[in-house]
Chain A
Amino acid sequence: MCLAIPARVVELPAPETARVDLGGVRKDISLALVDGVALGDYVIVHVGYALTKLDRDEAERTLALMAEAGIDGAAAALEVGAGPPGTEAAR
């Protein structure tokens, strides 16, 4: 729930500490809650701690699912003649 963002681990300056990079901004965060973090990994950061590693394969898979849904949706919309709210086809 709360504000957390995925950031890339660019340095491991001290035990249980990672320096992460998000869009060029770097911050030191604690790895006390996650084991086995390596350079180049992405972690989800919340209040200065890594909560978990981000699984890149799963991320790609999720994006692919979304894209697929879009294609299905567009096809269905063409059939029915209605589009999502706010689009030309819907009026």
Chain B
Amino acid sequence: MRFVDEFRDGALARGLAQAIAAEARPGRTYNLMEFCGGHTHAISRYGLTDLLPANVHMIHGPGCPVCVLPIGRIDSAIELARRPGLVLCTYADTMRVPASQGISLLKAKARGADVRMVYSSADAVKIAVDHPDRDVVFFAIGFETTTPPTAVAIRHAEAMGLANFSVFCNHVLTPSAIANILESRDVREIGTVPLDGFVGPAHVSTVIGSQPYEYFAEEYRRPVVIAGFEPLDVMQAVRMLVRQLNEGRAEVENEFTRAVTREGNAKAKALVAEVFELRKSFEWRGLGEVPYSALRIKERYRPYDAEARYGIGYRSVPDHRACECGAILRGVKSPADCKVFGTVCTPDNPIGSCMVSSEGACAAHYTYGRFRSVPVVGRGAPPKAAPAGVPAAEVAP
């Protein structure tokens, strides 16, 4: 696969690993937050942690739109799905998220609700066209990458005069989440979460461009490097961040130049601005209420707004008491710190959102990383060796 395989090349990986090890200064740590479900996944799936020096720590930020979707919103989706005659179309990612009373969309489907998995918002529109006698609702989630496709679907529905299609909008915004983390007490005042720099999301940035991150770099004095989706991209971005930190710079750099420009995709942005507007506030699971962090459908497109059409109220539902997803999403705690991790809360029986999505920090750690804290027998695989000068205590067992 062109433009995919080259960015997974093992030989280049080794070279980059050496380069990072050479540039990372012994005696200091580099705490880098990656902010993109795809990056979390790439790091886990390709075992990137093995290739980074011990003093470079990757922290998982709230980059997974499924993980930050509050239980109350899923409850609303389930309630919609249960209405007689209504068809709820959703991306597969949300289907297993457990909401109130342990019900998920998948379980609701098993009990008779018409829930259909779609790959694209266009598929939902098609279902509405094919079934004029049914009300079809598209459960829209996602960051800025996924929002333009929803905008297109709504405009398409309007152009066709489709009377039986609407969207339950849960789109959220990346820069708001970053600001929320940087503004949190843990980071700003207490300093319990050392956060030196950010690996910027890949595909969100193709839409919004690199420009929105300039504010963070300046205001909070932290470098941001936008990284492509493949493991080599992530490594190159780490290298660029390490270099910026060494040189005391706090700039926005773009590693993903093959798909990201400073301006982003003007057409997509315009379409989104045409259909959506900012909500004053929106609850993020784990982060609480975040101002100006989410979108709702504009008045002009009200007929396509499921919240207006079906009078959906919102009831905030707290997380399970023992669930540490909030702290984990903010990077304050790690999955292993959670009392129910791996015991009560597993990918098969997820308590919180971080475990449900395969990109959630807990799911990723469970599937790929929990073995790290256990001495794993390797056929000649050496324990993680520290670059010279790094105290032994920093080396993972």
Direct contact of A and B (CB under 8 A): yes
Q: A62 CA to B145 CA in the complex, in Å?
A: 22
Contact B12–A66 (Cβ < 8 Å): yes
Main secondary structure of the interface of A (DSSP, over half): mixed
B306 to chain A minimum Cβ distance, whole angstroms, is 19
Q: How would residues 342 to 384 of chain B score, 1 for a CB under 8 Å from any chain A CB and 0 otherwise?
A: 0000000000000000000000000000000000000001101
Contact A73–B20 (Cβ < 8 Å): yes
Contact of A66 among B16, B21, B202, B388 (CB under 8 A): B16
Q: A34 CA to B268 CA in the complex, in Å?
A: 8
Contact A69–B7 (Cβ < 8 Å): no
Contact B202–A1 (Cβ < 8 Å): yes
Main secondary structure of the interface of B (DSSP, over half): helix
Contact A2–B236 (Cβ < 8 Å): no
Contact A73–B19 (Cβ < 8 Å): yes
Chain B residue numbers with a CB within 8 Å of A48 are: 119-123, 149
Interface size bucket, A side? 35 or more
Closest to A16 in B: B152
Contact of A70 among B12, B119, B174, B202 (CB under 8 A): B12
Contact A86–B2 (Cβ < 8 Å): no
Given A66-B15, A73-B16, A73-B20, is A86 in contact with B255 using a C-beta cutoff of 8 Å?
no
Contact A76–B3 (Cβ < 8 Å): no
Contact A44–B203 (Cβ < 8 Å): yes
Given A2-B146, A33-B268, is A84 in contact with B3 using a C-beta cutoff of 8 Å?
no
Q: A21 CA to B378 CA in the complex, in Å?
A: 39
Chain A residue numbers with a CB within 8 Å of B259 are: 6, 44, 51-52, 54-55
- Count chain B residues whose beta carbon lies closer than 8 angstroms to a beta carbon of A: 74
CB-contacts of A45-69 with B (<8 A): 46-49, 51-52, 54-56, 58-59, 61-63, 65-67, 69
CB-contacts of A1-31 with B (<8 A): 1-6, 8, 22-23, 30
A15 to chain B minimum Cβ distance, whole angstroms, is 12
Contact B21–A83 (Cβ < 8 Å): yes
Interchain Cβ contacts under 8 Å between A and B, 30 examples = A1-B37, A1-B39, A1-B63, A4-B145, A6-B4, A30-B122, A32-B156, A33-B148, A44-B206, A46-B146, A47-B121, A48-B123, A49-B122, A52-B207, A54-B258, A54-B259, A59-B6, A62-B228, A62-B257, A63-B12, A66-B235, A73-B15, A73-B16, A73-B19, A76-B22, A76-B23, A84-B21, A85-B52, A90-B385, A91-B382
Q: A2-B143, A44-B203, A49-B149 are in contact. List 15 more A-B contacts (CB 8 A).
A: A1-B143, A30-B120, A32-B156, A35-B267, A49-B120, A49-B148, A62-B256, A72-B19, A73-B18, A76-B23, A84-B51, A85-B51, A85-B52, A85-B385, A91-B382
Q: Rank and list the top 3 A-B pairs by shortest CB-CB distance, nearest first.
A: A70-B15, A48-B120, A73-B19
Interface residues, chain A, with chain B CB atoms under 8 Å away:
1-6, 8, 22-23, 30, 32-35, 42, 44, 46-49, 51-52, 54-56, 58-59, 61-63, 65-67, 69-74, 76-77, 80-87, 90-91
Interface residues, chain B, with chain A CB atoms under 8 Å away:
1-4, 6-7, 11-12, 14-23, 35-39, 50-54, 63, 65, 91, 119-123, 142-143, 145-146, 148-149, 152, 156, 174, 201-204, 206-207, 228-229, 232-233, 235-236, 239, 255-259, 265, 267-268, 271, 381-382, 384-388
